Structure 1
Amino acid sequence: MQVSVETVSTLERRVKVVVPAAKIEQDVQARIVKAARTIRMDGFRPGKVPMSLIQKRYGESIRQEALGEIIRDSFYEAVTQEGINPAGFPSIEEVSDKAGEDMTFSALVEVYPELVLSSFADIKVERPVVDIGEADLDEMIENLRKQRSTFEESTEAAADGDKVTLDFAGSIDGEAFEGGTSTNFELALGSGRMIPGFETGIVGIKAGEERDINVTFPADYQAENLRDKAAVFKITAHKVSKAVLPELDATFLAAFGVTEGGVEKFREDVRKNMTRELKQAVKNKVKTQVMDALLANNTVEAPKALVGNEINRQREAMFKQFGGNAKIDPKMLPDDLFREQAQRSVALGLLISQIIKDKSVEVDQARVKAVIEEVAESYETPEEVVNYYYSNREQLAQVEAMVLEDQVVDTVLAQAQVTEAAARYTEIVRTGR
């Protein structure tokens, strides 16, 4: 087999292959002999059909089937021989096949880019240093109480955090518009559910009170006919309900799994969860800085085939995330919706792979075990969770991939310029994901 390679562009190669006629005829004849054992024809017993008849009736289809496999196998043999690393399936451009002659074909294929990583010493990373204080713990417990709050009707004026049951009727230039009217509508003030100015206009209202509020629809409002329009809403408040926070009693504590040790044990558990969440948030914040720096410091040309595959993966993931409605074809979601993120993902994947190769990074099984055990801690029977991961190859592979990526980050950090900066718990946890 003869092979020649032409460089079409940075990432494209045209592979030309010549397959000897003898090999083709040998493969075709072998297939015909194999087919003769099972082909049935009227007047002949199975396996006794004359080869001449088989050749006449099925020879061409068998030959075409053989050629398809020969082209596929010859292509992969050729790229292996030439040290080419395909980034996707080839596009077969030309096939020349005449009986008794050598077959020639050419295939256009993308290859993985050759990367030379920039120095990690140029990367700057700021690692947050956070101390979870008593005030942070109190704030978290207060938020947990708010999440389980109940509402009681009140005669007081409505404030942020209250619920107001109201009627509203909107108009523009004195004319009502579609979707601008509702009755017995329950609105949580401060939820940001309504257009800007609507909720703030209701703050201070009391049950039984009526008032008009003036608002302007945003320029990017979903209904084009309402964009940038000034509107007046006539409001009638029927009920104002204020939140009542639960006491830190046995019932409340039991809802969080604390049946012994009282408030002290509860605070200990909350602090432990906050510490775990903070650790992950700091890790994510540092990792994001490393990944952003790798992209900024290295030029990566992402193969179209890999980007296309990643677009399809992200499209399917979004489709499943929103319930996988059988009436909606995932292909209705345009490629451009995912392209930028897909290009970033592919570029990062190539950079990470290059670091793993250059630095000989191997999965640290001790870290894998530690990660699995940490996940298992939050379950009633941790040992069952650990056994599940180690008996499920797919789940274990996901953890190993995550750990390997963490090791790559550590490899970069070992040479990067890392500084520490004091930060608050809420600041890091809210932005660290």
Structure 2
Amino acid sequence: MQVSVETTSQIERRITIQVPAAEIDGAVSARLKDTAKNVRLNGFRQGRVPMAVVQQRYGQDVRNEVVSEVMRERYVRAITEEGLNPAGFPKIEPSVNESGKDLEFVAVMEVYPQVELTSIEGTEIERPVVAVSDADVDEMIDTLRKQNAAWEEVDAAAADGDQVTIDFQGYIGDEPFEGGSAEGHTLVIGSNSFIPGFEAQLIGAKAGEEKTLNVTFPEDYQAEHLAGKEATFKVTVHKVSSQKLPEVDAEFIERFGVEGGDQEKFRAEIKKNMTREASQAVDNRVKQQVLDALKKVNEIPVPSALVQQETDGMKRQAAQQFGLGEDFDVSQLPNELFEEQAKGRVQVGLLLAEVIKANELDADDEAIKAKVTELAEQYQDPDEVVSYYMGNEELKTQVKSAILEEKAVAKLLEQTNIKDVEMSYQQALAAAQQQAEQDEGAEEGEQASA
């Protein structure tokens, strides 16, 4: 077997492989003899069909079968001998495939890029310092009360925060437009779930009243045929309801798993959960700044096969998130919606793998169990969660990957200048959300300019 490797780009290799004709023709001949033993043709006994007939009938199919097997086997042997690290599957095509001639085929493949890490030394990192106050706990309890509130019909004019039950029909000019009508629709005034200006015009409306609302669709409205247009809605109000907040009593508290309905335990549990949430928001914000800095100074080529794998995974996540069902064909979702973000994820993954390798980072079963125990605290039966994870190798691998990522980020963080910034609980969550939106916007901008 002769092998030549051509470097066509930083991550693409073109391998030309030659296999002696005698090996291929011998394998084809042997395969045809085996085939002849089982051939049944009219006028011949089984196993007595002349080889010339067998060759004419089955020769090409048998040769294709043999050549396909040989190309796969010799490709694997070639990349092993040449020390190549493929990223994804190759494209293999025969260039010479004739009886009596050496088989020649070409395999075009992507390899993992060689990464020489550039330090992020001196990068400024902003780290929020958050303390959950009693006022924050009070506000969270109010939020829980609102989430568990009942709606009680009232004989009064609708106010901000009330729920109205309405029928409506939208018009552009005098013509009703598609998707602009509903019957018995419930709407909370102030929820901002309708077109800007719609909800505010319902303040003061009473049950049985008919109103005409004038609004303008936003310029960036998702339905292009409506974007920026003025519209009129004819609305009939059937019912006005106000929120009836539950009392923070033992019955209410027990809904959240606090036995006995103890107020102090309830507040302590809420504060513990909020502190954990704030800590995660801080960690994510710091981590994202570190990874952004790492990507910025380490532009590396990314194998398209890995990007496609990540894109496919993101499609499956999106289908699950939007409840499209297990049978939904994710190939219907366009790659363009996910590719740029997938490329960024792959880039980060390759860079972090190099950080992990360079620093010889690892995580044993003890570290994995400690991490799982920490995660299990938010469940009702932590011991059961720990046992389930530690008994599942796939889940353990996922946790190990998360631990190694944390360790890699911590190593990178050592190279940076950290500036602590005091923030309230709400500010920390808002900052984390803003960071996520900025990263998403940056990815969309990169995609648009590509």
Note if contact 1:364-1:404 (Cα within 8 Å) is conserved in structure 2. no
Report the 3-state secondary structure (helix = DSSP H, G, I; strand = E; otherwise coil) of the residue aligned with 2:269: helix
Give, in whole Å, the separation in 2 of the partners of 1:175 and 1:3: 71
Cα distance in 2 for residues equivalent to 1:239 and 1:185: 10
In structure 1, the partner of 2:89 is 89
Equivalences for residues 107-118 of structure 1 within 5 A: 107-118=107-118
Report the alpha carbon displacement of residue 292 of structure 1 after superposing the two structures with TM: 1.4
Distance 1:50 1:117, change over 3 A: same
**Distance in 2 between the 1:235 and 1:49 partners?**
85
SS at match of 1:136: helix
How many Å apart are 1:178 and its aligned residue?
4.6
Tell me if structure 1 keeps the 8 A contact 2:115–2:300. Answer: yes
Name the structure 1 match of 2:346: 346
Distance apart, 1:154 and its partner CA: 2.9
The answer to which of 190-199 and 357-366 deviates more is 357-366
Alpha carbon RMSD of aligned pairs, Å?
Answer: 2.9
Per the alignment, do residues 95 and 232 of structure 1 end up closer, same or farther by CA in structure 2, a change over 3 Å counting? Answer: closer
In structure 1, the residue matched to 2:400 is: 400
- SS of aligned partner of 2:121: helix
Judged with a 3 Å threshold, the aligned counterparts in structure 2 of structure 1 residues 57 and 230 are, in CA distance, closer, same or farther, namely closer
Query: Equivalent residue for 1:106?
Result: 106
Tell me how far 1:60 sits from its aligned partner. Answer: 4.6
Structure 1 segment 347-366 matched on structure 2, within 5 A: 347-366=347-366
Given that 2:158 and 2:240 are in contact with CA atoms closer than 8 Å, whether structure 1 keeps it comes out as: yes
Cα deviation digits, residues 202-252 of structure 1 (max 9, x gap) = 224344555443211122334444332223334444432211111111211
Counterpart in the other structure of 1:161: 161
TM-score scaled to structure 2, two decimals? 0.85
Checking the alignment, whether the CA contact within 8 Å between 2:154 and 2:242 is kept in structure 1 is: yes
Q: Deviations over 1:169-206 (max 9, x none)?
A: 54444555455454543211122221010012222434
* Contact 2:252–2:261 under 8 Å retained in 1: no
Q: Once the 2 structures are TM-superposed, how far is the Cα of residue 56 of structure 1 from its aligned partner?
A: 6.9
SS of the counterpart of 1:190? coil
Which has the larger displacement, 264-273 or 156-165? 156-165
Q: Secondary structure at the match of 2:85?
A: coil
User: What is the distance in 2 between the residues matched to 1:254 and 1:85?
Assistant: 56
Structure-1 residue corresponding to 2:387: 387
Unmatched 5+ stretches in structure 1: none
> Could you give the per-residue CA deviations for residues 20-48 of structure 1, whole angstroms, max 9, x where no partner exists?
33443554456457667x735577678x9
CA-to-partner distance for each residue in 1:315-360, whole Å, 9 max, x for gaps? 2332343334588643222221221112112211221222222222
The structure-2 alpha-carbon separation of the partners of 1:107 and 1:259, relative to structure 1 and needing over 3 Å to count, comes to: closer
Separation in 1, partners of 2:146, 2:167: 26
Distance 1:322-1:152 versus aligned 2 partners, 3 A rule:
closer
**1:177 to 1:15, Cα distance in 2 relative to 1, 3 A:** closer
Q: Partner residue of 1:119?
A: 119
Corresponding residue number in structure 1 for 2:440: none
Q: 1:70 to 1:225 in 2, by over 3 A?
A: closer
Instruction: State the match for 1:275 in structure 2.
Output: 275
**Partner-residue secondary structure (3-state), 2:384:** helix
Describe the shift of the 1:205–1:102 C-alpha distance in structure 2 as closer, same or farther (beyond 3 A).
same
Structure 1 window deviating more from structure 2 (215-224 vs 125-134): it is 215-224
Does structure 1 residue 39 correspond to structure 2 residue 38? Answer: yes
Identity fraction in percent:
46
Once residues 367 and 327 of structure 2 are traced to their aligned partners in structure 1, the CA distance between those partners, rounded to angstroms, is 44
Residue 316 of structure 2: aligned partner: 316
Structural mapping, 1:176-255, within 5 Å: 176-207=176-207, 209=209, 211-255=211-255
Distance 1:7 1:249 in 2: 72
Q: CA deviation at 1:135?
A: 0.5
- Distance in 1 between the 2:309 and 2:2 partners? 32
Q: Structure 1 residues 178, 73: closer, same or farther in 2, change over 3 A?
A: closer
CA distance in 1, matches of 2:344, 2:284: 17
Cα distance change, pair 337–261 in 1 and its aligned pair in 2 (3 A): closer
Residues 55, 175 of structure 1: alpha-carbon distance in 2 compared, 3 angstrom cutoff: closer
Q: Per the alignment, do residues 100 and 170 of structure 1 end up closer, same or farther by CA in structure 2, a change over 3 Å counting?
A: closer
Ranges in structure 2 where 5+ consecutive residues have no aligned partner = 434-450
Aligned-partner SS, 2:165: strand
* Larger CA deviation: 200-209 vs 143-152: 200-209
Q: Residue 120 of structure 1: SS of its match in structure 2?
A: coil
Distance of aligned partners of 1:316 and 1:152 in 2 relative to their CA distance in 1, 3 Å threshold: closer
